Structure 1
Amino acid sequence: MAQESVAQNTQAVTHDHGDEHESGSTLGPLLCWAVVFADIGTSVYYTPGILYQTVQGLAGFFVFLTLFAFILLALKYAEVTHRFPQGGGVVTVAAQALNPWFGAVGGMFILVDYFLTAATSSISGIAYLGVFIPWLAPTFIAVSVTVAVMILLGILNWIGISESAKVSLVGAIVAFVSDLAILFTVFTHLSLPEFFGLIHSMFAGHPLTFSSFLAGFAGAFLAFSGLESISQLSPVMRRPHKRVAGIALLLVVITVGVTSPLLTMLSTLLLPSMAANPDQSSQLISHLAGIWGGRVLEIEVAISASALLIFASNTAIIGAYHVFIALSRMDFLPAAILKRNKLRGTPHISIALATGIPIAVLIAVNGNINILGDMYAFGLLGAFALTCLSMDIVRYRDLKRARNTPPPSKPDPNAETHRAVEVHDLMKSNLQPAVALSKDSQPIGLTAAVNEVDEARSLWFKINFGLGILTTVIITIAWATNLVNKPLATAFGGGVAVLGMALAYYNYSRRQKQGMVPVPVVLTRLMESRAGATLAILSPGHPHQNGAVVRAAVNNADDQHPILFVYMAGKKQRTTTPQMMEIIDPYLDDPEAKETFSKAEGLVLKAKVPNRHYIYLQEDPSLAPQVWQLVHPRDTLIAVENDDQLKDINPDRIRYELTPDGKVAHLLKRW
């Protein structure tokens, strides 16, 4: 039982190291709430005025209605956070659930969202300063100051001044307390009958048709833009991700649910003339505070709103340039985007794009917040819809695996320890036989597939799966509605997405012609048992042996059985501290693995092998037997020189193949 002890000790050491690391540099539930609320909580400062232009007094009703869809969406994003701890949100989940190209599409969607968030938040922040600085009111001055502020944000990111979650916490608390202060002062002046009278007046003179209902519901999602930022915090989130993300999003739902719908309803119904005035609608919340709470509260809300909005603009710039970097590392965008300047070591080209494009959009619409709000619809809901669909697919695969995998039997404590067939002796190895590990002692990383099968058998998982499908349908309907009702958003967002995908296709094809066949995204876990598959085990530091295994796999490929190329990279210590909004993918940071998979894909394409998958695991190559036990392949290919990977693999027979790169063992098994 020596190996079981080693595996258990490894888990303990890893856990202890993780706790030590987390206490110094990772975010707990409160700080995660702060970062998300500092983004999503700013929407209330411009949403009421924008919504009023299309639905008038029904703005508050539609925000209340959309709140329920927001809660369902939050459940999905909590799962994205712990299932994909490398971050990336829609880019990662779409790439792994569907196809790398869908990950690129998701990247384009979220970039559109970030561009408009940066532009809208920054111009709104300057507009709120205009509450007590009158000379900012003229459009030309407001746009000029906003452009200057965004350039300053770009310079700060170029210098390398990183965003702090503790600063977000201060801003989020001030904003939330300010929102509560506004609500308190308004309700101290309103009697209960007057409040219910407002609710009645909300529907008076505003008949709801089916089309207007859909349009209002779809448009109200603007009030909840920013939820996607929780999935970008995974790399810096304290473990366990599931618990931390769950608590953080519960706090987000409570704080946003208490403030956003009520503030939208009160501001649009109590100040209808201001809501209808484009010059005042962008300052509506501050005016509400001033009329009911006095000048001091009005200025305080204006200052806190302005600071938080500019902070949200900076968050969007950071998120955008990290998406640019991720798409470039995935070989969809030019490698020049990855360049870092020698002076500060920051990615100046991606920062320039993330800052310059929102500035161009802002200038193009002459700082019109209502136009920017309408343009939001494409990227925001597109990213939500693609994320939801991808998570449904991931959950369905878990359900499918749960149906096809028999429940684990209870171990018999009196049974003798089962020893594997001596593969090493058959191959004339001098290594001693080892005891096979049971599924109950799977090492960290490989437990993911087993644990997810167990979870998929639970009643809550099935309920969650059904709620997830409902969420996908709701979000897709809202997105489709906006595609029709907001042609400017469709034109801008669709144009950016098409242009980006055309560039991605060009860059991808150019890399292929250069002989560097990209394999941009690979699975980081074993999704399901594949009893008919060919399993090709690859490991670092053995380029010739890997070449032999790849060549043997391609030589024996057929149309009926998939090839699983599994690269077992081993645990690697990160030398730098993860930054907020950074997308951390160990595979993309592993040039040897990328080169190995690139060569494999090149051979596969020449041989026209249709069914192949690339899997990257941060596990020691000696744990290859655990992969074998999970996948149940018919043929397992391992280089003969790497016979230390063969302990505990129990084939029916062994066949050898000699390739130009070396000798390969075929471990054949009929399950």
Structure 2
Amino acid sequence: MASQIKRLFIGRPMKSNAIEGEKLGKLKALAVLSSDALSSVAYGTEQILLVLMTIGISAIWYSIPISFAVLGLLLILILSYRQTIKAYPAGGGAYIVAKDNLGTATGLLAGGSLLVDYILTVAVSSSAGTDAIVSAFPSLHDDRVWIALTMIGFLTLMNLRGVTESASVLAIPVYLFVVVVFILIGAGVYRYLTGQMVSHITPGADGALSGISLFLLLKAFSSGCSALTGVEAVSNAVPHFREPASRNAIATLVMMGLLLGSMFLGISLLAYGYGIVPAEQSTVISQIAESVFGRGVLYYIIQGSTALILFLAANTAYSAFPLLAFMLAKDKFMPRAFMARGDRLGFSNGILFLGLLSAALIVSFGGNTVSLIPLYAVGVFIPFTLSQLGMMIRWIRLKPKGWFSKFVMNTIGMLTTLLITLIFIVTKFSQVWIVFIFLPVVIWIFYRINRHYANIADELRIQLDIDKPITSQGTIIVPVAGITRVVMNSISYARSLTDQVVAVYVGFNDEDIECMERKWAEWNPGVRLIVLRSSYRSVIRPLLKFIETVEWKTGNSGQITVLIPQFITKSWWHNLLHNQTSLLLRAHLFYQKDVVVATVPFHLKK
């Protein structure tokens, strides 16, 4: 039944050679990989205004030059990541670039930052999408956690079904959001220019702006830069593209930059032009839509599409996180389980891991993860900086034709993103200080995993010309609970391997022991029976002590094998009616050195 349920939700398994059919074209890739970046249009401007409003309503005039500064940084990042995609067409983004040019530790810093960022992306996007729904339907405020968890479950399920299938479904709401935002911007600009909407803000009111400072402006700028999270996703996921993968990835990156830049600037201009300020129960984009269209059909279409794109922003993480986890696992810094492809050819373990951790964050923060946005932004600007620095080192090291102009571009990108990172740390230290504890712990875990795999490789490695299999006569111990066909089957198998077979019975009282000895003598299977008395009604402890005694007596002269008889019931629920002593014994013996544990199954027919 479990298999049938899995097939219903996940779909039929796909052959390995169908992997090429799972690659994405530019339009589907744009929907899957840019949803995080495009969704930031819904909250990027609001983050700027939240900081400026601490001075006064007139301070929102500064949101316009700050928005242009954010666009300038977006242009730098787009041009810089074009170079990264060309240089590293196998994907991996900041992790591969930093590891290749700056060393393993720096690469792990970039990779760890991105993994954490993707987890935060899912949590923040889900909570932001819930905010959009609650803005339209305030009565749902108490159900925000369940709404967010439902959407995380939906995205997890869609991605488990495969990249292509999820892209086909999720492309519709992404492009719907793009269309309705441009309609909103066009209608809003038209109404403003025709005098139907007039701002009530008086720019340059000296009294209101007396508290403005460079520190505050930098803080607002850094908050606005949260709109740029997700820009790196395309360079991380180049292997998801159809051939020519690099060219298609670059085209997708440029399209994403054009859409993001124009939408972000349009919303910022409308917010200022209409005098919109952040409100607790209504987002900025909700207020703009209400000002332009009223609370009619178009308003609810805009709110619905905004909620969808904010939820689907998490899908960028679902595309990039499993691929990055695969690369780290390939380098033996994460568990090998992240390298396994599921039935639908996706890295299903990475998808499930991402969904579970982000759901845990939603529950921990009660669905209100807005406080995580600064940490979320720092998590992506650290890899931004390391990626650009890595590319600078690469150009200096290789010096290909025309390298100097590329070096200058990456230098500008590195200095800019480094500045933003420092601004985040200085202006929002109270919110991002945990990154200085968390990231070192993540990197330490990476190294511990890598050391474990290295130790295993050392212990398992053999010299082909020296190390050969050794044949030796060992002792087989068969624990028995009575004289049954299960026991007879196990003893028969044991005697086919060696003559050194002993049966061990653990009795709790004299009557049971005498009965067992009498029946065994009557049966006479050709195997000696050793009886152990258990005063505390434990089967496992006397057996373990006996095995240790045999091991001590035999020393290195032979291998000890414990052959456990076990009957297999016809129906699964029959197991509930029987003691599982064999399972417990096997679990204990697994950790016993120099003891081989084997099970001889006997299948019941009734």
Same fold (TM over 0.5): yes
- Give a deviation string over 1:418-476, Cα, whole Å, max 9, x none: xxxxxxxxxxxxxxxxxxxxxxxxxxxxxxxxxxx3xx2x3xx4233212211111110
**Residue 278 of structure 1: SS of its match in structure 2?**
coil
Mapped contact 2:158–2:165 kept (Cα < 8 A): no
Q: Which of the residues 130, 135, 141 maps onto 1:137?
A: 141
Residue 414 (structure 2) pairs with residue 472 (structure 1)? yes
Q: Partner letter of residue 254 of structure 2?
A: L
Mapped contact 1:44–1:260 kept (Cα < 8 A): yes
CA–CA distance in structure 2, aligned partners of residues 203 and 517 of structure 1: 74
Q: Flag structure 1 segments of 5+ consecutive residues without an equivalent.
A: 1-20, 400-452, 519-542, 546-671
Q: Partner letter of residue 72 of structure 1?
A: I
Residue 314 (structure 2) pairs with residue 372 (structure 1)? no
Q: Which residue is equivalent to 1:312?
A: 313
CA–CA distance in structure 2, aligned partners of residues 312 and 230 of structure 1: 14
Mapped contact 2:132–2:307 kept (Cα < 8 A): yes
Q: Which residue is equivalent to 1:217?
A: 221
Q: Which residue is equivalent to 2:156?
A: 154
Q: Partner letter of residue 55 of structure 1?
A: L
CA–CA distance in structure 1, aligned partners of residues 205 and 324 of structure 2: 42
Q: Percent of aligned pairs with the same residue? A: 22
Q: Which residue is equivalent to 1:51?
A: 48
Residue 176 (structure 2) pairs with residue 234 (structure 1)? no
Q: Which residue is equivalent to 2:360?
A: 360
CA–CA distance in structure 2, aligned partners of residues 181 and 397 of structure 1: 48
The aligned runs of 1:423-438 (5 Å cut-off) are none
Mapped contact 2:48–2:221 kept (Cα < 8 A): no
CA–CA distance in structure 2, aligned partners of residues 509 and 292 of structure 1: 60
TM-aligned CA deviation for residue 254 of structure 1: 2.2
- Give a deviation string over 1:64-120, Cα, whole Å, max 9, x none: 211111101111111212221211111111111222332221111111211121111
Mapped contact 2:32–2:319 kept (Cα < 8 A): no
Q: Which of the residues 88, 104, 108 maps onto 1:104?
A: 108
What is the RMSD computed on CA atoms of the aligned residues? 3.4
Q: TM-score, normalised by structure 2?
A: 0.65
Mapped contact 1:79–1:242 kept (Cα < 8 A): no
The aligned runs of 1:25-104 (5 Å cut-off) are 26-56=23-53, 57=60, 58-104=62-108
Q: 1:113/1:181 Cα in 2 relative to 1: closer, same or farther (>3 Å)? A: same
Mapped contact 2:120–2:376 kept (Cα < 8 A): yes
CA–CA distance in structure 2, aligned partners of residues 477 and 195 of structure 1: 38
Q: 1:190/1:162 Cα in 2 relative to 1: closer, same or farther (>3 Å)? A: same
Q: Which of the residues 271, 288, 294 maps onto 1:267?
A: 271
Q: 1:472/1:361 Cα in 2 relative to 1: closer, same or farther (>3 Å)? A: same
**Residue 203 of structure 2: SS of its match in structure 1?**
helix
CA–CA distance in structure 2, aligned partners of residues 181 and 203 of structure 1: 33
- Give a deviation string over 1:569-609, Cα, whole Å, max 9, x none: xxxxxxxxxxxxxxxxxxxxxxxxxxxxxxxxxxxxxxxxx
TM-aligned CA deviation for residue 504 of structure 1: 1.1
Q: Which residue is equivalent to 1:328?
A: 329
CA–CA distance in structure 2, aligned partners of residues 22 and 336 of structure 1: 19
Mapped contact 2:199–2:274 kept (Cα < 8 A): no
**Residue 217 of structure 2: SS of its match in structure 1?**
helix
Q: Which residue is equivalent to 1:441?
A: none
Q: Partner letter of residue 113 of structure 1?
A: D
Q: Which residue is equivalent to 2:542?
A: none
CA–CA distance in structure 2, aligned partners of residues 64 and 215 of structure 1: 15
Q: TM-score, normalised by structure 1?
A: 0.59
CA–CA distance in structure 1, aligned partners of residues 265 and 84 of structure 2: 26
- Give a deviation string over 1:515-540, Cα, whole Å, max 9, x none: 4499xxxxxxxxxxxxxxxxxxxxxx
**Residue 332 of structure 1: SS of its match in structure 2?**
coil
TM-aligned CA deviation for residue 219 of structure 1: 2.1
Computing the radius of gyration from Cα coordinates, the structure with the larger value is: 2
The aligned runs of 1:120-199 (5 Å cut-off) are 120-138=124-142, 141-158=143-160, 160=162, 164-191=166-193
- Give a deviation string over 1:585-640, Cα, whole Å, max 9, x none: xxxxxxxxxxxxxxxxxxxxxxxxxxxxxxxxxxxxxxxxxxxxxxxxxxxxxxxx
CA–CA distance in structure 1, aligned partners of residues 351 and 34 of structure 2: 24
Mapped contact 2:33–2:316 kept (Cα < 8 A): no
CA–CA distance in structure 1, aligned partners of residues 435 and 150 of structure 2: 25
Q: Flag structure 2 segments of 5+ consecutive residues without an equivalent.
A: 1-17, 54-59, 466-606
CA–CA distance in structure 1, aligned partners of residues 222 and 421 of structure 2: 7
Query: How many matched pairs?
Result: 437
CA–CA distance in structure 2, aligned partners of residues 22 and 154 of structure 1: 20
TM-aligned CA deviation for residue 176 of structure 1: 1.6
Q: 1:190/1:160 Cα in 2 relative to 1: closer, same or farther (>3 Å)? A: closer
CA–CA distance in structure 2, aligned partners of residues 194 and 168 of structure 1: 36
Q: 1:491/1:355 Cα in 2 relative to 1: closer, same or farther (>3 Å)? A: farther
CA–CA distance in structure 2, aligned partners of residues 162 and 242 of structure 1: 19
Q: Which residue is equivalent to 2:442?
A: 500
Q: Partner letter of residue 494 of structure 1?
A: F
Mapped contact 1:150–1:359 kept (Cα < 8 A): yes
CA–CA distance in structure 2, aligned partners of residues 123 and 59 of structure 1: 24
